[in-house]
Structures are given as C-alpha cells and as structure tokens.
Amino acid sequence: MTARTPDSSMSWPTTRVIVTGGAGFLGRAVVDRLRSRGAAEVVVPRSRDYDLRDGAAIRRLLAGTAHVRDGRTEPVDVIIHLAARVGGIGANRAHPAEFFYDNLMMGAQLMHEAWRAGVSKFVAIGTVCAYPKFAPVPFDEDALWDGYPEETNAPYGLAKKMLLVQAEAYRAQYGFNAIYLLPVNLYGPGDNFDPASSHVIPALIRKCIDAVESGQDEIVVWGDGTPTREFLYVDDAAEGIVLATERLNDSRPVNLGSSREISIRELAERIAAACGFTGRLVWDTSQPNGQPRRKLQTHRAREAFGFESRVDFAAGLERTIAWYRAQRAAGLV
C-alpha cells in the first residue's frame, strides 16, 4: 500500500498523532509540544494495552485509532516512535539480548504496519549509540556505517539503526515518508533515577544527594572519568523532534544535539558541587568507560528544519537537580 502524500508542513489542528512511549521521559515532553501546537488528537498507547513487539497488537492499535474522513476510513496521520527499552551501561551489559530483540521488534513491525495502514509520516528515533566506537569527532551522519558501535551498548545501537535501513528501503520502494533522528544523551526533569537502569546524569545526582543525606565522605563512579559526552536537555530534544515532524521529509539520518562536550570527570565534579557533596569521587577503573568520546555534528538539523538547542547546560542541570529534590521530598522517588 502507498501512503498518502504528505505536505511539507503540518496543519496541527487537523493532524492526528500516535506517540509511542508518550508517557515516558522524552515522550511527555513531545506530547506537551504537540498539544501546545494544537494537534487535533494525540494518542499515547500504553504498554499494558499494546505490546509493540506483537504485530497483532500494533494492528489493533492502528485500527482502534482510525477514523472516518470524507467517507473513508483513514489511520492517524503521523506516528512518532519513541518507545524503547533503554538503560545505562550496566543495564545494557546485563540484558543485551532483550535490548536487541525488544527494540528491533517494536520498531520494524510498527513501521511496517504503519506503511500497510497508509499512515502519512513515520518519525523514527534512533540513538547516538548507533555510531561506531571510534567515529571521528564530531560525529557526522555520514560516518554511521564506518565501524562497529561501542561493545557495551552495540545490541541496542544496532537494533535502533535498523530503523534507518528500513526507513530508506520503504521510501525507495513504497514512497513511504519515514524520517530518522539521532538524539544525543538526554537529561532533564522527569528522567529515570533508578540506580539499576539510569543514565549517567541522574545516576550521579542520586548518588551525590544520597551521600549528602547519609553523611558519606565518598562516592564511587564507574570508569576513569576520561570519556566525554554531549547532553541535550529533554525539552530541546522534544522541540527538535516536533520541528522535524513538521518540516523534514527525507530519510537521511539527522543528529539532534547541543554541540557541547564534557568529560565524565568534569561532569561528576559539577554535579557533586551542585548537589552540595564535598567528599571524594572514587573512580572504579574495573568498570567500563563506554565509548571514548561522543559529540555530534549538528549542522544538518539546523539546515534541514531549523533546530538548535536553547537550554544552557548549567541551567538544565540546576533544573534537573531541583526537580529530583522536590520529588524526593514528596516521597515520589
């Protein structure tokens, strides 16, 4: 089936959208952006109702959200696919098969069923983990296939990269308007602070605040502190995704980043200071560093759909810590 031909821009008051993962960290920010733009209907399927690894569940979701327009039954106009099994280095090392299978099955089947149903546009969200371990810095989208990803999260990164292959193949054969975005590491209020599965910023914030409250004089940090990372505030990421949904109609991969690089050592020191922790940072070099450097080339997003990050890292970090303290004080985390 060939999808309806999309316009180059969205008329949100008449556009109906499914956001998978819309109840999650990034998803909530994207849903808020869509509603603020006046999207006619934003559907957020929950995993308890629709297991997106199951093709039958996906077909049920699409059938249940179709409606009659001009006497014809039509699907939603756009799917933004944010649902994913995610986690930090520890979670990826402990569950590599699940990270591969769950992400691959969700993405491949959802895109296929969206095409079959006639959805106008599919927005696939990839990951910076898809880049080769030793890609030249800053990571340019054209370097995506120049090597194997960093081993600790390669199953996850490769599963998500298959969405790019699928998007390009479905556009070439079917004319399906699928786009593919590569966000860098995200942070911000509403992040996952569970020590078993959190990423580096929430993990460090929790460790530091735990240490302050319990009177500990040291905290342990994985690796040796030399790797670098780039971080994008969650609201900036959401704005980039919505801008791409509105303006991008090209299956070439596009990075979403802030273009600011920081070492893990400096990051840990800044978080410790911001949280009021004055003890020692002990670097556990028996644990993996992960990818040596991560910094994205971001000119394609600026040129293709006018995206640039807005939130200063220090300000974003301050808001994230304040949010976590408030949630903790209320007994919510």
Burial code (b: 16+ CB inside 10 Å, e: under 16) for 181-214 equals bbbbbbbbbbbbbeeebbbbbbbbbbbbbebbee
Q: Which two tokens stand for residue 271?
A: 């978080």
Q: Which two tokens stand for residue 81?
A: 């696919």
Q: Which residues contact 302 (CB under 8 A, 6 or more apart)?
A: 308
- What whole-number distance in Å separates Cα of residue 138 and Cα of residue 150? 16
Q: Cis check for the bond before 253: say yes or no (omega within 30 of 0).
A: no
Q: Which residues contact 273 (CB under 8 A, 6 or more apart)?
A: none
> Is 156 an active-site residue?
yes
DSSP characters over 43-91: E---TTT--TTSHHHHHHHHHHH-EEETTEEE--SEEEE-------HHH
Of 50, 156, 187, 324, catalytic: 156
Q: Which amino acid is at 136?
A: P
Where residue 330 falls (left for φ over 0; alpha for ψ -120 to 50; beta otherwise) is alpha
Question: What residues are labeled active site?
Answer: 156
